[in-house]
Amino acid sequence: MRSILVTSALPYANGPIHIGHLVEYLQTDIWVRFQKLRGNRAIYICADDTHGTSITISARAQGCSEEEFIAEMSEAHQRDFAGFDIEFDNYGSTHSQENRAHCTTLWKALRDAGMVVEKEIEQLFDVEAETFLADRFVRGTCPNCNSTNQPGDNCGNCGATYSPAELIDPVSTLSKSRPEIRKAVHLFVQIEQLHDFLEDWTQSGALQTESANYVKNYFLHEPLQDWDISRPGPYFGFEIPDSPGNYWYVWFDAPIGYMASTTQWCQANKESFDDWWRSPDAEIHHFIGKDIQYFHTLFWPAMLKTAGFSLPTKVHIHGFLTFDGEKMSKSKGTFIRASNYLKHLDPAYLRYYYATKLSHKIDDLDLNREEFAARINSDLVGKVVNLASRTAKFVAGTGLSAEYPEDGGLFAEAAAQGDAIAEAYEHCDYSRAMRLIMELADKANPYIEQNAPWELRKDPAKGKQLQDVCSVGLNLFRQLAIYLAPVLPQLAKQSGDLLDAPVVSWDDAKTPLTGTAVNKFKHMMQRVDPKNIEAMIEESREEASTAHRDTDVSPVDSDEALKAEPIAPEITIDDFAKVDLRVARVLAAEDVPDARKLIKLTLGLGGEERRTVFAGIKQAYDDPKQLVGRLVVCVANLAPRKMKFGTSEGMVVASGPGGKEIFLLSPDSGAQPGQRVH
C-alpha cells in the first residue's frame, strides 16, 4: 500500500472559483479518489492562499478586515468545491498558526545555509495608503520611451524593464496619489546556490518532459536570479521573526501552506507529520497549472531540499481552459463561476467531460458546448446508464441470478481490462481511461439487444433466462460504474443503491454480484439540455455587465476593457498638447517577414512629409495591401526608435487588447493628411 499526499494549487482568496480553476481540482480529485479506490492511503490537501496586498485592497473595498474577508472567501471556495464533489481531506489556510510555524522552520534552514542576503532597494511608498507599492500597483511614464500609463515593472510599449522607482510621474493605483521613493531593505534567497541540484532534479522524471525542457531552456541555462522574498510592512502576511518590520512575500508562504494543511490533518487524525514530509515511504504529488511552474519546479524544491524535507515525487502540470476554442471571456459569458454552473447543470457532466479531455500533457483543454452535450448524452446516458435502465426493472422482484450466467466472456473481458484502465488513471491519462471504459459499454449494449429481455418477459417459461440476461446486464453496468467511480462518485453510489452493494474497491469489478436483490430503478442522470447551457452563459454575461443598466436605450458595454487598463492619471491640456497627432495616409504597407506582429508602414502627412512606422498589427491586418490608401491617425512627434528591422518614426494609434483584436482609428471622411488632431 502506497502513502500518497496529493495537493492542488492553493486558490487565491481574492476571487471566486470558476470553471477554469475546476480543471485542476477535478483532475486532482479524480486522481485521489482513484488512489483511494485502489486501496492506497491517499490524502488530498489544500488551502486558501490568503496573503498579499491584493487581499488588503479587496478587504478595504468591502469595508472589512482582511481576516473577515478571507474567512468569507474560504467559505465560498469550499462551498463551490463541495458542489462539484471535490473532497479534500483537509482544507486549510495560509493564514494559520501552523503555516507560520512551518515558514519559520524553512526560513531558518535558508538562513543557516547562508542563502539569505539583504539588499537595499528603492521602492515607491504610497503616503496616503501608508504602504509600499508592489509593481503592479504603480503606473507611470516609461523612462525609456516616454509611454504613459505603463505598469511598474516593464514597459508595455518598448519592453524595457525597470524598477517602479525609475518611472516618470508615477501614480499609485490605490490612492491615485503620487508615491514617494523610499529605501527599504529586502531579503533575497540566493537560489543559484542550488543550481546543480535543480538541474538534476528537474530532469529526474518528476516533471513532464515538456515542463522539464521549458525550465531547462528558460531558466537554468543561465544563473538564477536572487529571489526577493520579503516585503516591508504594512503587509498582510507573517512578519519575519529575525527581521522585524519585514514580511514574507505571499509566494514564500503559499506552498508552505501544503505543509500547514497537512499538519492540521495529522493533528485531527493522530498521524505524524514527518511520516508524510520527511519519509522516503510517502509520495508527494502536486497538481498545478502551467502558469506557476516556476515556483513549483525551482523555488519550492530548493526550499524543501535546504530544509531537509521530501522532494515532490511528481509535479503534474496541466494547461488552461478555453471555451469554444477561445479564451474565457466575461463579455461573452464564458467566464463561468462554479456557483453559476451549479445553478444550471449537473456537476457530473463537467467531471466526465474534463475526464474525456485530460491527459498527462500540458496542452490547453477546450470546453466546446456542442461536444459537451454530445459526450454526456451519448456516453453516459445513452450507453452506461441505459444498461441499468433497460434491465433493472425486469429483475426488481427476483434479484440477480444465484450463479453468474454464461455471457460470452463479456464480464471476464471487462474485468481483465481493469489493469489497463487503472494504469491510464495512474498516469493521469483520463481521456484514455474514458475511451477504454466506453469500449466496454459499446460491447454491453449489443448483448442486451441480442438477448432481448423484453421478449423473454412475455414467456413465463423463460423466467430464468430473463433473470440471467438482466443479471449480466446489471453486472456489466456495475463494472462500468466502478471504473467510472473516481470521475462519477454519485453514479457509483446510485449503482450501489440499486444493487444493494456499495462500491468500495477497484477490485469489486473483478467479481460479479450474484443472488442479491435489485431495487426499484430510479433515473440516475438527466440528459443535457442545451437550453441550460445557454441560460448559464446568458447569466454570466449579464453578471459581467450589471454595472451598466441605467438606461434602456444605450447599448450595454462590458467594463472588461476598463478593468484591464484603468484610466490614466489626470493631465492638463498642456500635457495633451505635447502629443502631436496627425491624420496620415498609408502610402505603402509591407509585411516584415521575420516579425510575427509587425507591418512596415509608409505614412504620408501631405506633401513630401513621410514617416516610416513599424506597427504591431500584423495579426489583425494580415494583408498589408488592404491598408494602402486608407487614413489613419499617427503620433507624429514621437522620438524615433531603432528596432530590429529598421527605425520606427512614430506610431499609428489603435485600440484593442492585441492579437487579432486590434482596431486602427480612422478619421471621418473629409479629413486630410497632415491635419492635426486636437
Partner RNA sequence: GGCAGGAUAGCUCAGUGGUAGAGCAGAGGACUCAUAAGCCUUUGGUCGGCGGUUCAAAUCCGCCUCCUGCUACCA
- Which of these ranges, 8-16, 111-119, 253-261, 388-396, lies near RNA under the rule CB under 7 A? 388-396
Helix (H, G, I), strand (E, B) or coil at 669: coil
Q: Residue 25 corresponds to which cell in the numbers above?
A: 481540482
Closest by alpha carbon to 512, among 468, 448, 567? 468
576 binds RNA (CB under 7 A): no
Which range touches RNA (CB under 7 A), out of 94-102, 129-137, 384-392, 550-558?
384-392
580 binds RNA (CB under 7 A): no
Among 239, 364, 539, 560, binds RNA (CB under 7 A): 364
Instruction: Give the residue, chosen from 21, 285, 390, 611, that forms a contact with RNA under the rule CB under 7 A.
Output: 390
Judged by CB, which is closer to RNA: 224, or 438?
A: 438
Helix, coil or strand: residue 676 = strand
449 vs 534 by CB, closer to RNA: 449
Query: Is the CA virtual torsion 505, 509, 511, 512 positive or negative?
Result: positive
Question: Minimum distance between the CB of residue 321 and RNA, rounded to whole angstroms?
Answer: 12
Does residue 368 interact with RNA by CB under 7 A? yes
Q: In sequence order, what DSSP letters do the residues of 2-38 get, joined into one string?
A: -EEEEEEPPPBTTS--BHHHHHHHHHHHHHHHHHHHT
385 touches RNA by CB under 7 A: yes
Does residue 148 bind RNA (CB under 7 A)? Answer: no
Pick from 285, 262, 96, 139: nearest CA to 208? 285
Of 589, 586, 585, 600, which Cα lies nearest the Cα of 674? 585
Q: Tell me, residue by residue from 454 to 493, as one string, x for binding to RNA by CB under 7 A and - for no binding.
A: x---------------------------------------
Q: What's the number of CA atoms in the CB half-sphere (13 Å) around residue 70?
A: 23
Tell whether residue 596 is a contact of RNA (CB under 7 A): yes
| Interface pick for RNA out of 15, 83, 604, 616 (rule CB under 7 A) | 616
Q: Does 438 sit near RNA (CB under 7 A)? A: yes
Whole-number minimum distance, CB 497 to RNA, in Å? 14
> Site residues for RNA, window 91-130 (CB under 7 A)?
none
Among 568, 595, 671, 677, binds RNA (CB under 7 A): 595
Taking the complex as a whole, how short is the minimal distance between the CB of residue 570 and RNA, in angstroms?
21
**Spatial separation of the C-alpha atoms in residues 54 and 37, rounded to whole Å:** 40
Minimum CB distance to RNA smaller for 6 or for 635:
635
**Measured over all CA atoms, what is the biggest interatomic distance in the chain, rounded to whole angstroms?**
103
Q: Interface with RNA includes 149 (CB under 7 A)?
A: no
Interacting residue with RNA among 170, 333, 399, 453 (CB under 7 A): 453
Residues 333-362 touching RNA, rule: CB under 7 A, are: 357, 359, 361
Q: Does 658 bind RNA (CB under 7 A)?
A: yes
| Binding piece for RNA, criterion CB under 7 A, among 32-40, 70-78, 501-509, 612-620 | 612-620
Cis peptide before 502 (omega within 30 of 0): no
Residues 618-647 that bind RNA (CB under 7 A): 641, 643-645
Cα end-to-end distance, the chain, whole Å: 75
Phi first, then psi: give them for residue 23, nearest 5 degrees: -50, -50
Question: CA 418, CA 503: separation in Å to the nearest integer?
Answer: 15
Which of 288, 229, 271 minimizes the C-alpha distance to 253? 229
Q: Which of 639, 650, 554 is nearest to 605 (CA)?
A: 650
* Interface size with RNA, residues (CB under 7 A): 71
Q: Pick the binder of RNA from 229, 598, 603, 605 (CB under 7 A).
A: 598
The verdict on 651 binding RNA (CB under 7 A) reads yes
One residue of 79, 597, 621, 677 binding RNA per CB under 7 A: 597
Tell me how far apart the alpha carbons of residues 104 and 472 are, in angstroms, rounded to a whole number: 60
Is there binding between residue 214 and RNA (CB under 7 A)?
Answer: yes
Question: Which amino acid is it at 491?
Answer: L
| Strand-strand pairing, 321-323 and 365-367 | parallel
Instruction: Compute the distance between CA of residue 327 and CA of residue 497 in angstroms, rounded to an integer.
Output: 41
Residue 423 or 538: which CB sits closer to RNA? Answer: 423
Q: What is the 3-state secondary structure (H, E, C) of 605-631?
A: CCCCCEEEEEECCCCCCCCHHHHCCCE
Q: Applying CB under 7 A, does 232 fall inside the site for RNA? A: no
C-alpha cell at 611: 514617416
Contact between 433 and RNA per CB under 7 A? no
Question: Rounded to an integer, what is the distance from CA 375 to the centroid of its chain?
Answer: 23
Q: Is 654 a binder of RNA (CB under 7 A)?
A: yes
Question: Which span sits near RNA by CB under 7 A: 402-410, 542-550, 567-575, 654-662?
Answer: 654-662
Q: Which position among 446, 515, 530, 640 is part of the footprint of RNA (CB under 7 A)?
A: 446
| Residues 520-539, interacting with RNA (CB under 7 A) | 523-527
Rounded Cα gap, residues 253 and 231, in angstroms: 12
**Residue choice 158, 311, 501, 581 for contact with RNA (CB under 7 A):** 158
User: Cβ of residue 101: shortest distance to RNA, in angstroms?
Assistant: 35
Q: Whole-angstrom Cα distance, residue 370 to residue 488?
A: 21
Closer CB to RNA, 355 or 438, in the complex: 438
Strand partners, 4: 42, 283
